Each structure stands twice: as structure tokens, then as C-alpha cells.
Amino acid sequence: MSQIRNQLLQLNGSADALFILYYTAQGEPFPNNLDKLCAPNVTDFPPFHANGTEKARLVELYRVAAYLGTALGNVTRDQKLLNPQALSLHSKLNSTADTLRGLLSNVLCRLCGKYHVARVDVTYGPDTSGKDVFQKKKLGCQLLGKYKQVVGVAAQAF
Amino acid sequence: MSTLQIWVAQALVIFLTTESVGELLDPCGYINPESPVIERGSNFTAVCVLKEKCVDYYHANASYIVWKTNHLNVPKEQYTTINRTASSVTLTNVASLSIQLTCNIFAYGQIEQNVYGITVLSGFPPEKPKNLNCIVNEGKRMMCQWDPGRETYLETNFTLKSEWATEKFEDCKAKPDTPNSCLVSYAPVYFVNIEVWVEVENALGTATSDHLNFDPVEKVKPNPPHNLSVSNSEELSSILKLTWINPNIKTIMTLKYNIEYRTKDASTWSQIPPEDIASTRFSFTVQDLKPFTEYVFRIRCMRSNGKGFWSDWSEEASGITYEDRPSKAPSFWYKINPSHTHGYRTVQLIWKTLLPFEANGKILDYEVTLTRWKSHLQNYTTNDTKLTVNLTDDRYIATLTARNLVGKSDASALTIPACDFQGELVESKCYLITVTPVYANGPGSPESTKAYLKQAPPSKGPIVRTKKVGKNEAVLEWDQLPVDAQNGFIRNYTIFYRTVIGNETAVNVDSSHTEYTLSSLTSDTLYMVRMTAYTDEGGKDGPEFTFTTPKFAQGEIEAIVVPVCLAFLLTTLLGVLFCFNKRDLIKKHIWPNVPDPSKSHIAQWSPHTPPRHNFNSKDQMYSDGNFTDVSVVEIEANDKKPFPEDLKSLDLFKKEKISTEGHSSGIGGSSCMSSSRPSISSSDDNESTQNTSSTVQYSTVVHSGYRHQVPSVQVFSRSESTQPLLDSEERPEDLQLVDNVDNNDEILPRQQYFKQNCSQPETSPDISHFERSKQVSSSNEEDFVRLKQQQISDLISQSCGSGQIKMFQEVSTADAFAPGTEGQVERFEAVGMEAATDEGMPKSYLPQTVRQGGYVPQ
């Protein structure tokens, strides 16, 4: 569990910088319209309740991490095309994705070892490959806003 | 010829050449194995197989095969012809890394022709990789290293494998030039345990290292702190403040540091205590530095819990501490140049620059003050290290201070004597003579010494006193004489000490001492001591001092008193314990128990040989065994026979009341230890009874003697009954029976009360006889029972044996308990014995003559 906590702290510590780096890299109107363009309104984002049992929280955390992992992968793919020069953003997106992958591994091990949960049903966000540039940027911004919000709650919950 | 023709011709040539080469390239045979790899030092066997066409073409067979290794013939002993077309060769202990093995035949028996050739490689199988360890350089991928083991001399592949519990990672193949390390292709993910190991493989085998499982965060080598800067403080010249920027890894771990520093010219580093910098920080102030000194710093960091690796050292940074006032006064001297002007002279003051650690900064200038003797002051300021001034011939005091940005140094002073100084030296005065060498570049270090023009004996002697006085020693101390009183160099002291009557003893002491211990002194003695101080010219006595050595050494008194007290206490305790343990014996001899007649258990009267009652130890009241057996005698009241003597004795009995020390309780009370005087009832009734009728002797005290004393008087025995005789009144029939003295039968029952066996244990009494006395008080019945039960056989036997008891007088219990009535005295004769005889009971007493109204003790 200490590793899971450290991972959440690590994600929480870098979430804001990633968010800032992202919307800055998108250019206007994003930096000045965060509440409109980057509000954490991701409807299909898996829920996370901080006051559940450890098992329940781990299951929800697993779903969140799985969702975020794929979603960030999409964002990373899109940004490499939309902002190929934003190397810092790419690097941070990659490292966040790596950390989320590690978090998935630890959470699964914990669920399996302690609670004998071998499988958790997960959901993924929509594929952004068919969307236009603005939508891609906006969805990415909303996702990172939501991610920053949820990871903060999760870091407090564990 | 046309181009086309040329082309065709070339094509034909090429075709034909190819055909011929192809034919030439088609070997006549082959060797098996074709690309062998063998372990070095092992044997190798190869087989050369000829093709049939070559056998026919070259008219050769396998026996014509010649094996060569590296163009050298292999000895034929190593050949083996398998068949017509095959031949093998065995190479033993192959040590070469690579051997060219060729199979050749002698074509037509003469021409050596190469058939086939192979390269035999030898080497070793891979060893198990050891010491696998990994490091994650911050911002870089993880690299693992291992010990590959011995050289295999073969192409060997090392593969680093890694995986999570839920995911496998791509293998990392070590490069051939770096077979002992591999840099993984994926970015490190912290806080997830990863398992790594190395698999190695070559043509001769495989091996696998131990698995390593760890969290990459524990293998991090951070980047060093950067942007290290140094700043000083104007307030404190001994500190420098360092600031730096931590590596990014600080976001996932706390850091600790190493900070080292040195002066610019030094070669060795000093280290800041690690415990002062054991957590993440951005600055540090280094203290205890020298002022105005340049220092060089460097810093490195690692994870604060010690797991991981130290970063590299940062770039070095320098800083200079702030200035401080000069710490030392510059030394200076003067030169007097001869002056042609009368009354004036040119004096050159010269001095050296301070060393950097003395200057503590940049010296801005020097200030010189010249003071003519007790007047006029002249100030000079110069940047140079010399000053030339014109002075009068008077004496001057010169001072020099160095000044920097912070302040001035202490002043050094110099006296420039007056021109006419002749040096008035006096005797017996101590002078300090200082010589300062003056070199071309300034004055050197002065040397001083003390001297006397002429010495003399001290003007006063040292005052001695005691520092500590013991039983046999004393520590003396004294102060050094003041310089003014010394009049010379004190070379030594002499201590004189003596007692009032003894001789004086002298002890020499070096002048460097200020105390001395006198030993082998006599205790409790008055000593007089004095000291003399000596110079080269003589000595001077000091005042006499007296002291007295104590009688006892410190702690001696306590050492004597305490053991004595403890011994006394111990002796007392032992004595008390001994007395307590022997208290019975002591009581027996010092304060023996006196039997209380009132508490005696008299069961039967016996005039001569009172029966022994074997008293129970608990019931035995008189352990001394003086008196035990008493029987109750029935005295017939009708017996008129007068016995004046008896009466007298009866009177005695009547009148004399014997107090047996509390033991007597009247009738029935008995006291074995009572006096030999007869006891009589203290009851008034009994007295009246006795007065109204004849004096009734109801008891006889039989005394066996007390403490081996034989009583000279008559002994008496008595019953323990305390009630007056009533039986005669209440039971007249009893009296009838008693009157018939000759009727043994009638008397038998009553007499059976008193029968007791002298030597035999007391028999239990006949209950019926006791019933006769039921009218008496219950206590008396108890007495009877007790008497019967208590057998004092030893006493009876004693009394029987000693013959002291002559006669027991038996008294009827009823009569004994009943109030005294006239005529109740019964006469008892020898019927009891007879009755005892008749009945088979042992005789226990001798008959007595009893007359009416009393009995006569025999």
C-alpha cells in the first residue's frame, strides 16, 4: 500500500504541472478560458469515492487508472501530431502514463493478493482520432482537468 | 568487330569461366561436423567423406586422406579410416581457440589435393552471471551490470530480462563489446517492484543469474544539485552561505547531502557534519571560517534513507569571507640616523606587513603615533611599511597600528630612548633586556632575557604554610617572593623542620616548586617549620610556622569505632539468640516453676507409698514431679479414740493456713511444690466444721522433696477437693458401712476409690464408686476423674522408693466435699489395702490409725 500511496502522491504532485503545460501548449484561447474549455466535465469518467472500504476504493482506483491510461495515450498521440515541438509535454504525458501503468499493476496485485479479486471490469473513453483539432485539444484539456481533480482526491483517500 | 560481337564473346567467356569455377568449387568431399564448437581442452573427432566421383576421378580412397590442422599434418596415429570413402581424425585436448582442419587427399597417389576444410572453434560454456545490480540515473533509463564470469572465447549472448508481477518488459541484449551491462529500453517507473535477471547463452551452453527484485526508486542516482552559489556576510566574517537548486527527483524523495569545502590553496577537503544536512534543503550556512579567506565548496545528494546512490559532485563554487579587524599588531623597529642638526635626530621606523591570516582583510594604511616623554603626540598615517621622522633627542614612545575596512589592529609599542640615555642600572634589580634584530627588510623577532647587574640575598624569606596535614605527613606550600624582594635569581629553597625536642631537619627544594611534602612525621606532635630562599649571593629565612600532626589519621577513628560497635552488636545479638534458644533451660535453673498446690491433680491419698499417677504431659501441672499422688481419705466421724497428739497436729492443721504461693485453693487444692507444712482448708466452713467437731485431717501432703532436698518434717498428702466434707451427713448408710471396719466387703466399694497401684499405671476408676459421690459438686467429680486419669507413676515410684511417704490417709470423697459435720470423720484402716488385695488391685498405701475425729499421720 505504501507504494500505491507514493504513486498517487507522485501523480498528484505532477498533475497540476501537466495540466498547465498542456493548456499552455495548446495556445489561445485555452490559457484564458480554462473554465469553459478545460472544466473537468468528463461524463464517462469512472467514479471514485473516497469514503469507501479499501477494497472498494482500490477497485474504483483501478478503473480510474485504466480509463486514464488509455485516455492519456490518446492525448499523447494527438499532441505529437498537434504540437510536435512540445517535447516537455510529450515527456510528461509519457511519464504520467507510465506511472499510471505502474499504479494499475500495484492495485491489481493488491486486489488479487488481499481480496482475491483477479479481474476488474473497466471502461475506456471515446477514441479521439476522428475528431477535429479543437475537439481533440478541448477533450484533452478536460481530461487533464478531471485527472488533476480525481488524483487529488485519490491521493487523500489512501 | 561490332559491339554485339564483343558482348557475346564476353558472355561466353564468363559462362565458361563460371562453369569451370563451379566445377572447381564443387568439393570432392565434406567434413562433418562442419562448424564445430567444442569446449577447450576436450577431444574432437571429425569425419571426412569423399564423394564417389572424386574417388574415381583421383583414383584415391579414404586411405589417401591426409588431415591437416592449420596447414600442419596431423599425425597418422590420430587418423581412422572408416571405409573406402570416409576417414576420421581425432584431435585431443584442443587448446587453440580456432583450428583450421582440412581434409586432403593424394590424388593419383602423389598430388595433394584439398578436399574440404572447416574451422574448429573451442571455448567454454558460460558461467552463471553474478553480482547483478542496477542503477537508475535520474532522468535516464535503468542500467544493470553484472559479472559475466570467465572468458568463453566464443560468441556469448547476455540478455537482461525484466518484468513486473503483471507485465513483462522487452529483453535487453547486451552489446558484444559490453557483455556485462545493459541499458533497458523503457523509462523507469518508480514504486513498482521489478524483477530482473540475466540469461547468458553460447554454443556450449546457457546460464542464468540470480533474480533481483527491487523498487527502482531504491536504485536512483540523483542528478547533483546545481547552481551552487556562495555569499558572505558583512556582520560575520566567519561564515559563508551556500545556496543551490535540487534535482527534480526531489518530488518523489527526500534528499540528504554532503558538503565539502577547502581554502583555495588547500588540497584536502573538510566536510560539513552530515547530520546537519540530512533532509531536503536549498541552502546552508558554513561557520567557523577564517576572515577574508577564499573557500571552495561542492555538494552532492542522495535519497535521505540511504537507499540508492550518491549523486556526482556539483560544480565547485568559491566565496570569500568578509573582512575582520587585524588580529595582530605589526612588529616594528627603528633606526636612528645620525643627524647633523643639534638636538634633533632622524629616526626611521620600519615594520613588516601582516600575513593574510593576521591582516584579516586588505590593510588600508598604518597609523603611527609618536609621543615625546609625557607630552606632545604626533600622528602619522602611511601606506608604506616605513616612516622617517625628525625627532628631538628626547625619549619617545612610538605605537603602530594596521587598519583595514573593519577596524584597527592592536597597537604595538616601541620606546625610542633619549640621546643621552646612559643606562642607570642598579644592583639587586631585575632588568628585562630585549634585543631585536634589524634586517634590511625590517625588524626580526625580538628575544628577551632577565638580568641583574649584581645579585644580593633576598630581602625577605618565603612564608611557608601547611596545605594539608596528615598523621605522618604534611604538605607545605609557599608563594614565590615578589621580584622586588628577590634581589637575584632564586636558585633553591631550604625547608627546616623540627619538633620541640627533636633535631632540626633540612630539605632542599628546587626554586621551581611551590609546595613540598614532609613525610615520616610523628603523629600527635608539634612541628616548627621555616624556609630559606637562596640567590647566588646568599639566603634569607622566612618566618617560622608551627603545626601539629593529628593523633589519628583521617578515617582511622571511624575505622576503629565502627568495627568495635558492630562486634558488640553482633555479640549481643548472638547472646540474645542463645538465651532465647535455651530459655527453658535457663528458666529451669534460674527461675524454676513452683508447683501450685491449688492446681495439683491429687487423685489418691497414700500415707507411705502414694500411687503414681501418670500425668499426661499436658495435664501435668508440676513437671518437677514433686508431688503427685494424693488420695481422698474417708474419715469416720464416729471414731472417738482420742489422740492428743493427733489433735495437736490437727490443730496445727486447722490453724495453720498455708499459702502455697497461690497454688493452694483450700481443700482439694494441691501443690507439689508447697512447703512441707501441712495445708488445711481455707474455707471457713471447713474450719467451722472442724471446730464444731474434732479437727478432721483430710489431707496429707506428701512431698518428694524439692530439688533433691529431703524434707525433714512430716510430709502430708491431701486431696484436691475444696469443698467441706458432706458425705457423712448426706449418706449415713455410708457411715454405717464404714463403721463395720471388719466388714471388708462393705468398705470395699468406698475403699476402692483410693486404690492405686504404685507401680502400675492407674487403672480407670470404678464408675459406680464415683456415683456414690454424685452428690458432691460436679467440679469435684471432675477432680476425681482427673485424679484417676492423671497418673504420676514416676512420682509415686519415687516416693515409694524413697520411703519418704509413710502414710497416706484416705478420706472419703463424700466426706471431703460435704460440709463439715460432726462425726463425719471416718476412720480408715487397712481395709483399703485388704480390699485391694482381695480384689486383686495392687496395694497403694499403708494403713493408718485414725481415731475418731481425726487421723493421725504416721
B305–chain A Cβ distance below 8 A for any pair: no
* Closest by CA position to B211, among listed B199, B224, B228, B226: B199
Query: How does the average pLDDT of chain B come out, rounded?
Result: 76
DSSP state of B648: H
pLDDT at B840 over 70: no
**A102 contacts B190? CB cut-off 8 A:** yes
List, for residues B431-456, the tens digit of each pLDDT value: 988 887 777 766 777 788 999 999 99
Res. B497: pLDDT tops 60: yes
Q: Cβ separation of A10 and B190 shorter than 8 Å?
A: yes
Q: Which residue is it, cell 483399703?
A: B832
B710 vs B157, residue with greater confidence: B157
- Helix axes B556-581 and B583-590, enclosed angle (nearest 10): 70
Chain B residues with CB under 8 Å of A6 CB are 190-191, 217, 252
Nearest CB neighbour to A109, from listed B166, B187, B215: B166
Q: Do B187 and A95 touch (CB under 8 A)?
A: yes
pLDDT of residue B14: 58
A76 touching B (Cβ < 8 Å) = no
Give how far the C-alpha of residue B539 lies from the chain's centroid of Cα atoms, to the nearest Å.
60
Concatenating the DSSP letter of every residue in A39-88 gives ----TTPPP--TTS-HHHHHHHHHHHHHHHHHHHHHHHHHHHHH-TT-HH
Per the structure block, which three cell numbers stand in for B640? Answer: 472417738
Q: Which residues contact B813 (CB under 8 A, 6 or more apart)?
A: B632, B634, B719, B721, B727, B753, B773, B776, B780, B784
Q: B610 or B87: whose pLDDT is higher? A: B87
- Chain B residues close to A7, C-beta within 8 Å: 190-192
Task: At A85, list the grid cell.
Answer: 515541438
Question: How confident is the model over B534-577, as pLDDT tens digits?
Answer: 999 999 999 999 999 999 888 888 898 999 999 999 999 999 99
Residue B357 is inside which H or E element, if any?
helix B356-359
Selected for mutation to probe chain B from A101, A107, A111 (highest B CB count within 10 Å) is A101
Considering B103-117, B273-287, B813-827, the range whose residues carry the highest mean pLDDT is B273-287
Give the list of residues 6+ apart from residue B439 with CB closer than 8 angstroms, or none. none
pLDDT at B774 over 70: no
Low-confidence residues of chain A: pLDDT under 70: none
pLDDT of residue B697: 53
Residues 13-42 of A with CB under 8 A from B: 13-14
Instruction: Answer for the pair B741, B750: CB distance below 8 angstroms, yes or no.
Output: no
- Band of the pLDDT at B624, cuts 50, 70, 90? very low
Residue with the three cell numbers 527461675: B591
Nearest to B824 by CA among B832, B833, B815: B815
pLDDT, position B710: 55
| pLDDT given for residue B660 in this prediction | 41
Q: What is the mean pLDDT of residues B796-824?
A: 39
B164–A99 CB contact, under 8 Å: no
More confident residue, B689 or B561: B561
Among B165, B187, B192, select the one facing A94 at the smallest CB separation.
B187
Q: How confident is the model at residue B54 (pLDDT cuts 50, 70, 90)?
A: confident
B781, pLDDT greater than 70: no
Average pLDDT, stretch B486-491? Answer: 94
pLDDT digits (tens, 9 = 90+) for B145-181: 999 999 999 999 999 999 999 899 999 999 999 999 9
**Where residue B591 falls among pLDDT bands split at 50, 70, 90?**
confident
Environment class of B839 (CB within 10 Å of its CB; exposed 0-12, middle 13-18, buried 19+): middle
pLDDT at B130 over 90: yes
| Percent of chain B clearing pLDDT 90 (strictly above) | 45
| pLDDT computed for residue B607 by the predictor | 53
Chain A contact for B189 (CB, 8 A cutoff): yes
- Name the burial class of residue B433, with classes exposed (0-12), middle (13-18) and buried (19+) by CB atoms within 10 angstroms of its CB: exposed
Residues B407, B368 contacting (CB under 8 angstroms): no
The more confidently predicted of residues B199 and B667 is B199
Nearest to A105 among B186, B190, B192 (CB): B192
Give CA torsion, residues B91, B95, B98, B103, to 10 deg. -10
CA neighbor of B531 nearest in space, from B509, B553, B549? B509
Task: Please name every residue paired with B320 in a beta bridge, in sequence order, or none if there are none.
Answer: B294
B-chain residues near A104 (CB < 8 A) = 166
Chain A residues within an 8 Å CB radius of B191 = 3-4, 6-7, 10, 102, 106
Average pLDDT over residues B790-806: 41
**A-to-B residue pairs, Cβ atoms closer than 8 angstroms:** 45
Q: What is the pLDDT of residue B418?
A: 79
For an interface test with A, the pick among B140, B167, B192, B253 (most A C-beta atoms closer than 10 Å) comes out as B192
A106 touches chain B (CB under 8 A): yes
The pTM score is 0.55
B358 vs A: CB within 8 A: no
Q: Is the peptide bond before B33 cis (omega within 30 degrees of 0)?
A: yes
Cis peptide bond prior to A46, omega within 30° of 0: no
* pLDDT value, residue B512: 93
Cell of B549: 600532626
Q: CB B191 to CB A94 under 8 A?
A: no
* Residue range B378-389, pLDDT digits in tens: 889 999 998 998
What phi, psi does A45 have (nearest 5°)? Answer: -70, 135
Contact residues, chain A, for B166 at CB < 8 Å: 104-105, 108-109
- In B, which residues are within 8 Å of A97 by CB distance? none
HSE toward the beta carbon, residue B584, CA cutoff 13 A = 2
**Sorting pLDDT into bands at 50, 70 and 90, what band is B57?**
confident
Which residues of chain A lie closer than 8 angstroms to B213, CB-CB?
Answer: none
Assess A128–B contact: CB distance below 8 Å, yes or no. Answer: no
Model confidence band, residue B858 (pLDDT cutoffs 50, 70, 90)? very low
Instruction: Please report the residues numbered 105 through 164 in chain B whose beta carbons come closer than 8 angstroms to any beta carbon of chain A.
Output: 164
| Residue that is written with C-alpha cell 478541448 in the block | A138
**In this structure, what are the phi and psi dihedrals at residue B72, rounded to the nearest 5 degrees?**
-110, 135
Neighbouring residues of B777: CB distance < 8 A, sequence distance ≥ 6: B723, B817
Which pLDDT score is estimated for B25? 64
Whether A109 has its CB under 8 Å from any CB of chain B: the answer is yes
The 10s digit of each residue's pLDDT in B247-271 is 999 999 999 999 999 999 999 999 9
| pLDDT computed for residue B588 by the predictor | 85
If you search the block for the grid coordinates 466452713, which residue do you land on?
B685
d(CA B384, CA B827): 158
Banded pLDDT at B312 (limits 50, 70, 90): very high
pLDDT by residue (tens digit) across B733-771? 544 443 444 444 444 444 333 333 333 434 434 434 333
Residue B268: count of CB within 10 angstroms of its CB: 7
Lowest mean pLDDT among B194-203, B419-428, B589-598, B605-614: B605-614
* Cβ count within 10 A of residue B680: 28
The per-residue pLDDT for range B291-310, each reduced to its tens digit, is 999 999 999 999 999 999 99
Measure Cα distances from B621 to B597, B641, B705 in Å: 10, 38, 16
- Which of A14-23, B581-590, B620-629, B766-775 comes out lowest in average pLDDT? B766-775
- Report, as an integer, the average pLDDT of B337-365: 85
Q: Give A143 to chain B, closest Cα distance, Å.
A: 22
Interface test with B, best of A99, A110, A114, A158 (most B CBs within 10 A): A99
Are residues A10 and B215, on separate chains, in Cβ contact within 8 Å? no
Residue with cell 630539605: B507
